């Protein structure tokens, strides 16, 4: 499996050269200085194009009552895998980012949720990974959200993948 990774960007396509840790800390300091109460939601989505899988991971900063902004990372992987494995790859990408930023969020008292682009309805294909995804995210100690409440993955990452 070969991965092609891009740097972090916003929803308008502006590329950031700083690390995610720097982006997150600078955003928290700026937003809290402006009096905003924050919550961060992390989620990933993917789309298959032939034997290439395009992933997007979103780190969404919600300003309580004042809108939101997002940092996005896009990746491409050359592989063919099952729907369950792809859903769990999405969750793994989200957990990886959540783990990377959790200490900064704790330092500044910012809550975090990890969103999975997995449908709670068993009639949908993605549901095959529901129990595993929920166990993984909850087992890591994070708040878990699935569709229809998983907007970081279902909406933000989905728009960019």
Q: 40: which 2 tokens?
A: 């961060």
Q: pTM for this one?
A: 0.93
Number of domains in the chain: 1
H helices within the chain, ranges in order? Answer: 20-33, 83-107, 130-139, 151, 158-160
pLDDT band with cut points at 50, 70 and 90 for residue 6? low
63-108: pLDDT as tens digits: 999 999 999 999 999 988 999 999 999 999 999 999 999 999 999 9
pLDDT in tens, 109-128: 999 999 999 999 999 999 99
Handedness of CA 116, 121, 125, 130 (dihedral sign): positive
Q: How far apart are CA 71 and CA 52, in angstroms?
A: 23
Residue 51 burial (10 A CB sphere; 0-12, 13-18, 19+): exposed
Q: What is the DSSP string of 28-69?
A: HHHHHHTT--EEEEEEEEEEEETTEEEEEEEEEEEETTS-EE
Q: Per DSSP, what are the bridge partners of residue 99?
A: none
How far apart, in Å, are the Cα atoms of 62 and each of 37, 59, 66, 69?
A: 8, 10, 8, 7
Show the domain range for 132.
Answer: 2-160
Scan for tokens 């396509």, then name that residue: 13
């Amino acid at each position: 499996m070969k991965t092609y990774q891009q740097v972090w960007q916003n929803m308008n396509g502006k590329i950031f050269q700083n690390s995610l840790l720097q982006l997150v800390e600078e955003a928290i300091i700026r937003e809290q200085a402006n009096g905003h109460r924050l919550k961060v939601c992390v989620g990933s989505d993917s789309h298959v194009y032939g034997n290439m899988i395009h992933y997007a991971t979103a780190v969404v900063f919600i300003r309580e009552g004042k809108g939101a902004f997002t940092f996005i990372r896009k990746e491409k992987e050359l592989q063919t895998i099952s729907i369950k494995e792809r859903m769990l790859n999405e969750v793994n990408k989200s957990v990886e980012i959540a783990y990377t930023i959790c200490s900064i969020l704790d330092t500044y008292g910012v809550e975090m949720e990890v969103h999975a682009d997995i449908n709670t309805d068993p009639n949908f294909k993605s549901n095959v990974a529901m129990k595993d995804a929920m166990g993984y995210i909850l087992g890591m100690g994070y708040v878990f959200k699935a569709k229809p409440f998983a907007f970081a993955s279902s909406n933000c990452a989905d728009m960019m993948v």
